[in-house]
Amino acid sequence: MTLKQEFLNTFAKKETHKIVFSPRLYYWYFGNKIYSKLRKNFQASVPVQYYGRKQIEIYRDLCVSPRYSEETLYLPLHGTKIAPTSKIQVYQERGAKIGETITSYKTPLGKLKQVESIGGGLGAHKTEYPIKTLEDIKIMQYILEHTSFFFLKENYEKADRQFADITVTSTYLSKSPYQKLIIEFMGLTRTLLFLKKNPSQLENFMMFLEHWDDEMYEQISKSPLEIVNFGENLDSNLSPPPYFERYLLPYYEKRAKQLHRMGKYCHIHIDGSLRDFLPYLEQLPFDGFEALTAKPQGDVRLEDIQDAIGDKVLLDGIPSILFLPEYSNDYLMKYTEKVLELFSPHLILGVSDELSPNGDIRKIQMLSDYVKEFNC
């Protein structure tokens, strides 16, 4: 069967004939400027056969499966738009620091400002969050009330044609209300302080955010997507059990049921500290878990993860630090063998969570060759 069919069969718990190897190469690709045509831009660790190649070509050369069209083909499958009649103006400018972007929102209710910075890599992080006061919550709510979600069917069809038989065309959705607060709108410290001092106002805002998500899940449920990822990036230090149980569990139950009713599979991205989540994993309503990371990078053993998730699908399994020079090929190979032993056939093998710019792509090739032998 094709990689695409094996991917789907893994989620459907149908008979599979091979393990799909699906390492996400986005950060490695852009961090090393593989898209460049100038040889001087390439690091010595990048094999010459990848110079100037498209991501999809590299995936095919490696005989591995990509994961998301946003990353591999630069084709987002959904987006948002602010209504032109809302009188909301958005301005972006460069900050004083390298890689810093300042975004300002001007609305009839007031102004918001956020600052994002890229620190030594490709992942932007907020150094100033847009919501700082209770009044700012009203402004953000006004912005969202005039912002609509839309599914990009044309991009889905383009991506599906380009991916053909090497993967399932999939996407990740925006974060749950609690996760939005701590990652996008307020930061962890301010979120926890507001929940302690002004719980009703903040919980009302989370209820609003949940209602705003209704249209997103309605459109995704009716879309041709077969597998959907909850792009939560959970860490138990940011979502400890009391908050997890109160603000996240009910939301996940509601949304996963909504997708399952329409015949979709869904999995969730958990890539941080994991130990406190272990008791919840098997009972969570997801079909699989993406990026669960064990030692030596995470805080639990592979065996702990296997015991916790039962027969749910694990996507990834190999810590990204094992692709750094500090870890030998022999160590990486033995670790991969253990992942295959513990989680096959309920496994989409990959890198937890992505191959970093200083990761060795030759180790990906080595594992691809091994997985071919394993599948035989």
- Is the separation of the CB atoms in 285 and 252 below 8 Å? yes
In this structure, the answer to whether residues 223 and 181 fall within a common structural domain is yes
> Would you say residue 141 lies in a domain?
no
What is the model's pLDDT at position 121? 53
Of 66, 100, 129, at which residue does a domain stop? 129
What is the model's pLDDT at position 99? 84
Residue 260 has which token pair?
A: 């399952």
In this structure, the answer to whether residues 168 and 108 fall within a common structural domain is no
> Would you say residue 90 lies in a domain?
yes
Which segments within the chain are labelled E, that is strand? 20-21, 78-82, 89-94, 100-107, 110-118, 124-128, 147-151, 171-173, 227-234, 265-270, 288-290, 313-319, 347-352
DSSP 146: T
In this structure, the answer to whether residues 157 and 174 fall within a common structural domain is yes
Q: How many CB atoms lie within 10 A of CB 315?
A: 28
Q: Is 111 helix (H, G, I), strand (E, B) or coil?
A: strand
> Would you say residue 257 lies in a domain?
yes
| DSSP class per residue in 299-349 | SS-HHHHHHHHTTSEEEEEEEGGGGSTTS-HHHHHHHHHHHHHHHTTSEEE
In this structure, the answer to whether residues 75 and 91 fall within a common structural domain is no
In this structure, the answer to whether residues 63 and 159 fall within a common structural domain is yes
Confidence class of residue 38 from pLDDT cuts 50, 70 and 90? Answer: confident
Percent of the chain having pLDDT more than 90? 90
Pairing mode, strands 78-82 and 147-151: antiparallel
In this structure, the answer to whether residues 207 and 324 fall within a common structural domain is yes
> Would you say residue 272 lies in a domain?
yes
In this structure, the answer to whether residues 92 and 78 fall within a common structural domain is no
pLDDT tens, position by position, 287-343: 999 999 999 999 999 999 999 999 999 999 999 999 999 999 999 999 999 999 999
- Is the separation of the CB atoms in 253 and 232 below 8 Å? no
> Would you say residue 140 lies in a domain?
no
Find, among 370, 265, 286, 351, the residue nearest to 71 by Cα. 351
Residue 172 has which token pair?
A: 């990740």
pLDDT tens, position by position, 106-157: 999 999 999 999 865 567 789 999 999 999 999 999 999 999 999 999 999 9
In this structure, the answer to whether residues 168 and 111 fall within a common structural domain is no
In this structure, the answer to whether residues 216 and 96 fall within a common structural domain is no
What is the model's pLDDT at position 35? 87
In this structure, the answer to whether residues 319 and 234 fall within a common structural domain is yes
- Is the separation of the CB atoms in 82 and 143 below 8 Å? yes
Which residue range forms the structural domain that includes residue 100?
86-129
- Is the separation of the CB atoms in 100 and 116 below 8 Å? yes
In this structure, the answer to whether residues 46 and 173 fall within a common structural domain is yes
Q: Structural domain tally of the chain? A: 2
Find, among 338, 368, 372, the residue nearest to 355 by Cα. 368
The CATH number linked to 274 is 3.20.20.210
Count CA atoms within 13 Å of residue 68 on its CB side: 20
> Would you say residue 135 lies in a domain?
no
> Would you say residue 45 lies in a domain?
yes
In this structure, the answer to whether residues 195 and 167 fall within a common structural domain is yes
CA distance 317 to 351: 6
Q: How many CB atoms lie within 10 A of CB 342?
A: 17
- Is the separation of the CB atoms in 257 and 219 below 8 Å? no
Residue 63 has which token pair?
A: 């005989």
What is the model's pLDDT at position 123? 72
User: Dmax of the chain from CA atoms?
Assistant: 64
What is the model's pLDDT at position 119? 64
Of 129, 163, 184, at which residue does a domain stop? 129
pLDDT tens, position by position, 46-77: 898 998 999 999 999 999 999 999 999 999 99
DSSP 262: T
Is a pLDDT exceeding 80 seen at residue 39? Answer: no
> Would you say residue 358 lies in a domain?
yes
